[in-house]
Amino acid sequence: MRIRFAILAAAGAMGVASIAAAPAAEVALVESLTGTPAGLQVMDYLEPGKLITLGPRDTVVISYMRSCMRETITGGTVKVGTEESELQGAKVVRIKVPCDASRMMAAGDEAGQFGGRIFRSAPPAGPTSASVSPQFTLYGRAPVVELRAPGTLSLERIDRDGESYMVEVGSEQLVHGRFFDFAKTDRNLTAGGIYRISEGKRDIVFKVDPHAKPGNTPIVGRLLRFGSSS
């Protein structure tokens, strides 16, 4: 009996340790920043409870993954929530934008933990039919791709022939060391198209919304995440 209790106690301790070691949730993204608030950069992921102090002329644009709420905040104190920020002494303009970021974040985390592909059963090369179900929808035609490191991105349209790209991404092209923005290269995908994008042995299959706009639209609506190297 004592041995059994010891085993249960050890298992419980391991469970507590696993929970303690679990990474904090990344619930929001800094899309743009005016001024120099301490501890904040463009394309930072934010965790619940983080406090941000803005100067009177500082402005930050924060987008939430789950709620797709995009906040433009000027001045004051910001406490990051799960779906929107708690504010003191700040001015804010909130707008809900179309996004699929919560599913993208969850899939990227899972692929990173288990070393698998984000799209585990990628369809064969070449045109496909409606039987291929994209995992995610982008609501902007110029993806922002989070990479693990500089390298080669291949992208092809798979619902019809004739559109493919091979992009060599250097470190100088990465924002915050890991984000490549197609809008900065004036390269836009076709609204309504289904695409496969590959980085090394990882693939993502996604659809571009038929009403998606070109260029520098809200990042939270056009984010593709392979995940960081950490």
**The domain spanning residue 195 has which CATH number?**
2.60.40
Q: Kind of pairing, strands 136-140 and 164-169?
A: unpaired
| Mean pLDDT of the region 116-141 | 63
Residue 16 has pLDDT above 80, yes or no: no
Q: What gap in Å lies between CA 89 and CA 149, rounded to an integer?
A: 39
- Indicate whether 9 belongs to any domain: no
The answer to the question of residue 21 being in a domain is: no
Q: Are residues 211 and 135 in the same domain?
A: yes
Phi, psi of 96 (to 5 degrees): -90, 130
Q: For residue 43, is it within any domain?
A: yes
Tally Cβ neighbours within 10 Å of residue 112: 19
Q: Given pLDDT bands bounded at 50, 70 and 90, which one contains residue 70?
A: very high
Residues 85 and 131 in one domain: no
**Residue 217 or 160, more confident:** 217
Tell me: do 54 and 151 sit in the same domain: no
pLDDT tier, 79 (very low <50, low <70, confident <90, very high otherwise): very high
DSSP per residue, 142-202: S-EEE-SSSEEEEEEESSSSS-EEEEEE-GGG-BTTTEEEGGGGT----TT-EEEEEETTE
**pLDDT-based confidence at residue 103 (cuts at 50, 70, 90):** confident
Amino acid at 84: E
State which of 74, 96, 118 marks the end of a domain.
96
Q: What is residue 122's predicted lDDT score, i.e. its pLDDT? A: 44
- Note whether 127 and 209 are same-domain residues: yes
Q: Please check whether residues 83 and 131 belong to one and the same domain.
A: no
> Do 91 and 109 share a domain, yes or no?
no
The pLDDT of residue 108: 54
Domain containing residue 198: 101-225
- What pLDDT was estimated at residue 131? 55
Alpha-carbon distance 65 to 103, whole Å? Answer: 9
Give the pLDDT confidence score for residue 165 in this predicted structure: 87
Q: Over the chain, what is the mean pLDDT? A: 83
| pLDDT of residue 154 exceeding 80 | yes
**In degrees rounded to 5, what are phi and psi of residue 171?**
-60, -30
Which of 96, 120, 148 is where one domain is finished?
96
At residue 106 the predicted structure's pLDDT band, cuts being 50, 70 and 90, is: confident
Same domain, 182 and 217: yes
CA–CA distance, 84 with 63 (Å, rounded to integer): 8
Do 216 and 137 fall into the same domain? yes
- Between CA 25 and CA 230 the distance in angstroms is 15
The answer to whether residue 8 is domain-embedded is no
Cα separation, 103 vs 164, in Å, equals 25
Q: How many separate domains does the chain show?
A: 2
Lowest mean pLDDT among 160-169, 192-201, 206-215: 160-169
**pLDDT of amino acid 67:** 96
pLDDT band for 114, please (50, 70, 90 cuts).
very low
In-domain check, residue 79: yes
Residues 117 and 33 in one domain: no
Does residue 195 sit within a domain?
Answer: yes
Together in a domain, 71 and 177? no
- CB contact set of 67 (below 8 Å; sequence gap of 6+): 83, 84, 96
Residues 113 and 214 in one domain: yes
Q: pLDDT category, 52, cuts 50, 70, 90? A: very high
Note whether residue 59 is domain-resident: yes
> Is 7 a member of any domain?
no
Residue 40 to residue 48: CA distance in whole angstroms = 15
Same domain, 79 and 158: no
Q: What is the C-alpha separation between 123 and 163, in angstroms, rounded? A: 16
Domain end: 62, 79, 96, which one?
96
